[in-house]
Structure 1
């Protein structure tokens, strides 16, 4: 007795988007720049407020923003390029370094900032903090657990597929998490069920203080996609135009019912793994500022005639206005009442 098992379609070989990105329309490139500037402006403001009252010395528990803080400066091209293809009906699950994706996906800045400050007006009423942002309005979530966002993204993609909404899920993680079981389990199940998911790996070369070369047996996680019968693509040089183009292909494939794809982006962690990280393990710190993707992209857009002095100034002024309004909102919001410590944490029955 034989069983007829249909053969899957050939899997495209992993591609390397290291070649120059295709020329995008001027308005698209301007919007990508605006998203990146807004994200960086937000991170700089959080950096300022986080460190404002941590002394004397460095007490992680002190101040308006207590606890750990992981900022995404340098990784803005990944979020801007991917989220440019999404709507708030699509889902994004991010990492413990989540702000750039939250900004790019349209999470309310005021509510997000209030949550980071631990205020009652925050996304989670101040209970979650910056690593546990949850916004049902935009289908956005993140977690401090490595690779935790991959399985929930599958659940949302499964729901979108069953409901026929046309929505997709984007699951984001770092290159270190690609060695976790949840990463491989998720790729396998998404491929098996042909779910509308785009897996995004941000390769900033460091898993806390461990370099990628010391932890991962392959030079690119994009090659791992083929093991699960799905396309994999690596984007080099932190190039937002190339990320945009790669995401366009992957998102289009997911929306067309063709299943998941994986994109890995060679990006940059400009600051420490967390605020307070002395980064003594990094020998490349002196060269990092020269790789800052925002001034590099700004220069490219100026040379292409997309930006001029007035446009750059306007973009930065608008970003600053939005961010400072969000910070002011957070500072003016009440802290949760200690008597309500158990509220909004567990499900409550109507009585």
Structure 2
């Protein structure tokens, strides 16, 4: 992330977290946030029309957490995602066209149509895969961190997980081992308030997931997960600490999913008023409003960025629809070793 000193000097009333992101980088940030939102809206619509089978877990409302956490990363850094991972994939640079192709079970999807919504991986892009197992990415991240350290690479790994996963044994084991060995890992908990239908306040004895970091001698940081500049600032500090040999950090992004747990969720455990309250905290509109208020962008410029993202998603959807189906003769391909 580059600091735009000229912008900071001209607009001294900006908070430091916002001023630290220059205009060029900010355009990329907004593009990715819009891509994530519009990708998931299009995926949802495709599912409702029967074009996508199975189920999916949408992260609409959590875009700032995904983009902010990955903003300080280099191309060669790694992420490990979750069943609610579309945003993480796009934030790390995945092509929405190939992601849609994967959703549609097409041959040119990221996993040749075998993974679908919950198991997208792009190893070349540093995305080591989404995981349908709750907390499944946490111990894998420890292995990745061990590999980075053993090879003396200037890399970090970011592993995403939800508040529900913080009650899995793998969470505690992973944090403990990562701290003992001072591994270059960012543990990013996207606390969206609910593990399926369970309110987090009924599932933990402590009020915050980050409170558990003290047991493993690492920083535990709570951040507003709908505040892109704040998330990016915290992630940047944690990444710098990890690269310098300081070890892992636990980051808790307080956010909210505007959709249900999955497409089968009837949302009987929360009120319409609560959902609407969080809808008004939309991380995209919130960031745009702040940028306009500080004269960084005009509403017209912001609209252009959003329209370009919509056009990219529309083209990606058409690409997926026109993509070839897998050949039934390849049923056992990549199942057995040669």
Provide TM-score, normalisation by structure 1.
0.87
State whether residues 155 and 243 of structure 2, in contact with CA within 8 Å, keep that contact through their aligned partners in structure 1. Answer: yes
Which residue is equivalent to 1:264? 252
1:223 to 195, 211, 214: 211
Which residue is equivalent to 1:102? 89
State whether residues 27 and 305 of structure 2, in contact with CA within 8 Å, keep that contact through their aligned partners in structure 1. Answer: no
Q: How many residues align?
A: 319
Change in 2 beyond 3 A, CA 1:304/1:160: same
SS in 1 for 2:116: coil
Which residue is equivalent to 2:8? none
Alignment pair present for 1:246 and 2:243: no
Structure 2 CA distance for aligned equivalents of residues 241 and 163 of structure 1:
32
Aligned runs of 1:3-152 on 2, under 5 Å?
A: 22-24=17-19, 25-27=21-23, 28-52=25-49, 63-140=50-127, 141-152=129-140
Please state how far the C-alpha of 1:237 moved relative to its aligned partner: 5.8
SS in 1 for 2:117: coil
Structure 1 CA distance for aligned equivalents of residues 290 and 126 of structure 2:
33
Please state how far the C-alpha of 1:90 moved relative to its aligned partner: 0.8
State whether residues 190 and 225 of structure 2, in contact with CA within 8 Å, keep that contact through their aligned partners in structure 1. Answer: no
Alignment pair present for 1:318 and 2:308: yes
Which residue is equivalent to 2:322? 332
2:282 to 267, 283, 292: 292
SS in 2 for 1:92: strand
Structure with bigger helix share is 2
Structure 1 CA distance for aligned equivalents of residues 280 and 69 of structure 2:
24
SS in 2 for 1:171: strand
RMSD between superposed Cα atoms in Å: 1.5
State whether residues 21 and 245 of structure 1, in contact with CA within 8 Å, keep that contact through their aligned partners in structure 2. Answer: no
State whether residues 106 and 324 of structure 2, in contact with CA within 8 Å, keep that contact through their aligned partners in structure 1. Answer: yes
Which residue is equivalent to 1:188? 176
1:277-316 residue CA offsets vs partner (Å, 9 max, x unmatched):
2201112234332122211221111111122122112111
SS in 1 for 2:17: coil
Structure 1 CA distance for aligned equivalents of residues 304 and 224 of structure 2:
30
Please state how far the C-alpha of 1:21 moved relative to its aligned partner: 6.5
Structure 1 regions of 5+ residues with no counterpart? 1-19, 53-62
Please state how far the C-alpha of 1:221 moved relative to its aligned partner: 1.0
SS in 1 for 2:58: coil
Decide which moves more: 280-289 or 159-168.
Answer: 280-289
Change in 2 beyond 3 A, CA 1:203/1:21: farther
Please state how far the C-alpha of 1:37 moved relative to its aligned partner: 1.3
Larger Rg: 1
SS in 1 for 2:161: strand
Provide TM-score, normalisation by structure 2.
0.91
SS in 2 for 1:147: coil
SS in 1 for 2:259: coil
SS in 2 for 1:265: strand
